Structures are given as structure tokens and as C-alpha cells.
Amino acid sequence: MTLLWACIIWVFYSVASAMLPMCLQYIPAVILLIAAPILTVWIGIQLNVWVSIVAVFAFGSMFRNPLRYLWAKLLGQNPKLPQELFE
């Protein structure tokens, strides 16, 4: 039951942060990026590995742009951020 509530809170938090202006989404997005792998592992432990794999794909789909940016940074590239982030 705790897992269900944690996932529901994560979803509502992500929806609330998506309604913020782009320049104010950084801190909530980082919190969500940190919490998602923790929830995914918790899902795998409580339910099943296959459900956890589906959760990983859903997470990757929602955060594809930040993950793409972090991947480019890890490879030593210098990706450009959209100008709308700074307005």
C-alpha cells in the first residue's frame, strides 16, 4: 500500500511541476529524477522485475530530453539548452 501511495504522490508532483514555468522546473525535476529510480527498484522488489522494466521505459519516455542532455554531458559534449529556459 505504501508503494501505491508513493507512486501516486510522484505522479501528482510531476504534474504539478509540469505546470510551472520552464525556468522554475529545475529543482522539482531533479527531485523527480532522483526519486524515479528509487521507485522503480521498489516496484521491482514489491511486484515483479517485468513491471519494473516497464516503469524504466515509462521513466525514460517522460524524461528523454533531460536524460539526453545528461548523456551528452557524460560523453564530454557541450549540448545547447533552449533559450526559453532562461526567460
Residue ranges of domains in the chain: 2-86
pLDDT at 75 over 80: yes
- Joined together, the cell numbers standing for residue 56 give 524504466
pLDDT tens sequence across 8-20: 999 999 899 989 8
Q: What are the two backbone dihedrals, phi and then psi, of residue 51, each rounded to the nearest 5 degrees?
A: -65, -35
pLDDT tens sequence across 18-67: 898 878 888 888 898 899 889 999 999 999 899 999 988 888 887 787 78
How far is Cα 83 from Cα 87, in angstroms, rounded to an integer? 7
pTM of the model: 0.69
What is residue 85's predicted lDDT score, i.e. its pLDDT? 64
What is residue 87's predicted lDDT score, i.e. its pLDDT? 60
What is each CA distance from 79 to 5, 12, 33, 66, 82, in whole angstroms? 36, 30, 19, 11, 10
